[in-house]
Amino acid sequence: ITQARKSEFSLQFLVSEDNIMNTTETWRPLIPLLLFLLLTDGGYSDSRQDESTEEVVVQELQPSHRPARRAATAALHYLNNRHGSPNLIFGLGAVTGARLQKISEHGNKYSINFTVKDEVTSQTVGTCIGEVLFQKMKQNPITNVNCKFERDKRSVLDADKKFFEEMKKKEKPVVGQDIPDSFGHVEPSMEPVWHLAKIGSSYIMWKKSTEVLQYNMVQVKHVKQRKRTDNLIEFDFKILLHELPTQEIVPCDMSLVWHPLQLPKVRYSCTHLQSDGSGLEQVQEGAVGGTA
């Protein structure tokens, strides 16, 4: 006899017309409990049968194709924001492997293998494994990246500390504009500041990345250092992002607070042009906070 049948039999015995008058006061309080157990037992069994398992479809991708490189670019932005510095910005090298998992309830997760290069010298400096989950109808992809670097980063950290001390000692704040200029040139003295802009913009570009939208920073229109009395340095930037495939140039105001031994903190506000059916209107969006 199954447990459900046993419960049914016990209930029938207790509540039948012939027996209910003979039921003692000790057993009478148990009748509601037995009714509850019988009903919930059936309901629990039905709910378990109705539960649907989440569907996951796995697909191997061509590493050179656009979806794989777009996911690798989002992972690169995440990496630059967390591990880039005024003396080392990472560029995307080769995507060597890519796999897509289509997760029905959450979105599409890309597992990617790729190399990174020093953006200045173009030399390969590491190999990375990344996972990027583009959530359904959302920006801000869930990202995890692990890299093995070929270069000893202590020399980079020493150079970062030196730059930091120089910025703290400056009596006149750093000011600059149009970096790079119309010929693509960056003054050597402004290169660390240009790299700081890349660190901050990488946070914005990572948060804004989707399965169909990708971003690059094309220019710092203006930068000014803020004087601080604590052990941090801060810069205010006006930057231009290039959105692909729309080709829209997105202007953003960005503030970056930095220390060589801490994750950067970024505040930003960007303006998009969005069609409302009768023309174009500006749409403001932004965020306040540090790295994710």
Distances in Å between the Cα of 143 and the Cα atoms of 62, 76, 118, 126, 146 are: 20, 10, 22, 18, 10
Q: Is the peptide bond before 29 cis (omega within 30 degrees of 0)?
A: no
State if pTM tops 0.85.
Answer: no
Q: What is the pLDDT of residues 17-45, one digit of tens each?
A: 444 444 445 555 555 555 555 544 444 44
**CA 105 vs CA 54, 136, 139, 144, 200: distances in Å:** 7, 8, 16, 20, 32
**Given a cut of 60, is residue 97 above it in pLDDT?**
yes
Residue pLDDT, tens place only, 235-262: 999 999 999 999 999 999 999 999 999 9
Statement: residue 99 has pLDDT above 90: yes
Say how many CA atoms lie within 13 Å of 160 toward its Cβ. 21
What span, in angstroms and rounded, lies between the C-alpha atoms of 290 and 14? Answer: 65
Nearest to 266 by CA among 284, 234, 288, 233: 288
Average pLDDT rounded to a whole number, residues 79-88:
95
